[in-house]
Amino acid sequence: MAGVLLGGKALQAQELPSALLDSHHARLEAGPVGEHRVYFEGSTDGLKSLVVGSLALKPGQQPHSPHTHADEEIIAVFEGTGEITMDGRSSDIGPGTVMYAAPYCLHGLRNTGSTSLMIYYFKWIAKRL
């Protein structure tokens, strides 16, 4: 199926179709730490689970404490400055920084700047063949 810009909100489905979404079509979850958007959430032909989202994290905030999960995850930083902790080691981050966390890798994120920290994240669990 060809990708199309959909008029509805974020795609949530058992099996995600090909699609093109902008931030106005993502599911917005505004909270005390910032604005979280979920673009896609569901399974695909090759993945048991896929979640794609963004977070505009307010200064001084973290979305949650460092944690682990079964998903593989990529975080890409687009704006602002912060800190990512992986397996107990902290690193400063800024625009252009990309993190990959393998399943069950302890990791966390915190905004250390004076403006929003804008990240996009991609989480997935592969289907076992």
Residue 34 identity (one-letter amino acid) = G
CATH number for the domain including 95?
Answer: 2.60.120.10
Total number of domains constituting the chain: 1
| 12 within domain boundaries | no
Per-residue pLDDT band for 13 (boundaries 50, 70, 90) equals low
Residue 2 belongs to some domain of the structure: no
19 belongs to a structural domain: no
pLDDT in tens, 25-79: 999 999 999 999 999 999 999 999 999 999 999 999 999 999 999 999 999 999 9
Structural domain including 71 reads 25-126
Asked if residue 16 is part of any domain, the answer here is no
Residue 82 counted as domain residue: yes
Domain assignment present for 76: yes
CA distance 80 to 113: 7
pLDDT reported for residue 14: 72
pLDDT band at 2 (very low <50, low <70, confident <90, very high): very low
Residue 52 located in a structural domain: yes
Q: Is 39 left (phi over 0), alpha (psi -120 to 50) or beta?
A: alpha
pLDDT tens-digit series, residues 69-125: 999 999 999 999 999 999 999 999 999 999 999 999 999 999 999 999 999 999 999
Instruction: Give the global pTM.
Output: 0.88
